[in-house]
């Protein structure tokens, strides 16, 4: 940065941290891993004990409507289901801030609405702050308690 600073709860942000999760426009998952293995990947990589993350993973699977698909490979899932896996993976570390970059942009209207409602319910239950980027005004109005509009070039 050339000026200013970024803080979360008064602490400066200097590098990636489990305190922040991110969900992209397309689900960035490992296609050869199962749903449960994608969700728990970072926890397992960090060497955390399964007793710490497995109950949270099962709770998220339930919340995201993925029960019964835990052992399916993600390439077997629909686009909406893959996005739910990506959201669960971002939320498993219980981040203070969840960054979402047009995560529902590629979904059909019915799935998009279902995902928006799911996000609102999950956000309420998880108590995370969500920074959601969208080009859809109706989506912004439905999901937000505060809206910031970026100008044209430069944004």
Per-residue model confidence as pLDDT tens digits over 22-40: 999 888 899 999 999 999 9
Q: Is pLDDT above 70 for 1? A: no
Per-residue confidence (pLDDT) for residue 9, from 0 to 100: 82
Domain ranges of the chain: 7-143
DSSP 13: P
Which residues neighbour 101 within 8 Å (Cβ) at sequence distance 6 or greater?
22, 23, 24, 25, 133
Q: What pLDDT, on the 0 to 100 scale, is given for residue 18?
A: 81
- Residue 129's pLDDT band, with cuts at 50, 70 and 90, is confident
For the stretch 53-75, pLDDT in tens is 999 999 999 988 899 999 999 99
| 36, 57 contact by CB (below 8 A) | yes
The mean predicted confidence, pLDDT, of the chain is 88
Between 154 and 148, name the one with better pLDDT. Answer: 148
* Percentage of the residues of the chain whose pLDDT score is greater than 90: 38
Q: Is the pLDDT of residue 4 over 80?
A: yes
Q: What is the pLDDT of residue 37?
A: 96
CATH architecture of the region 7-143: 3-Layer(aba) Sandwich (3.40)
The angle, 0 to 180 degrees and rounded to 10, between the axes of the packed helices 109-126 and 50-63 is 140
Identify which of 36-45, 78-87, 122-131 has the greatest average pLDDT.
36-45
What is the layout of strands, in order, in the sheet containing 129-133? Answer: 20-23, 97-101, 129-133
Question: Which has more confidence, 154 or 118?
Answer: 118
Tell how strand 7-8 and strand 11-12 pair up.
Answer: antiparallel
Burial call 104-125: b when 16+ CB within 10 Å, e when fewer: beebeeebbebbbebbeebbee
Structure letter (DSSP) for residue 73? B
């Amino acid at each position: 940065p050339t000026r200013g600073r970024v803080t979360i709860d008064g602490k400066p942000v200097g590098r990636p941290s489990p305190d922040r999760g991110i969900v992209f426009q397309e689900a960035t998952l490992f296609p050869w891993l199962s749903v449960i293995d994608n969700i728990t990947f970072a926890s397992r990589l960090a060497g955390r004990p399964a007793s710490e993350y497995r109950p949270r993973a099962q709770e998220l699977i339930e919340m995201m409507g993925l029960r019964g698909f835990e052992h399916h490979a993600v390439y077997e899932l629909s686009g909406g289901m893959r996005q739910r896996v990506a959201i669960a993976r971002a939320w498993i570390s219980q981040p203070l801030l969840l960054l979402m970059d047009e995560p529902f942009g590629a979904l059909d209207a019915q799935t998009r609405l279902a995902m928006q409602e799911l996000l609102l319910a999950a956000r309420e239950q998880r108590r995370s702050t969500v920074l959601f980027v969208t080009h859809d005004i109706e989506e912004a109005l439905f999901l937000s308690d505060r809206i910031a509009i970026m100008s044209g070039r430069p944004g």
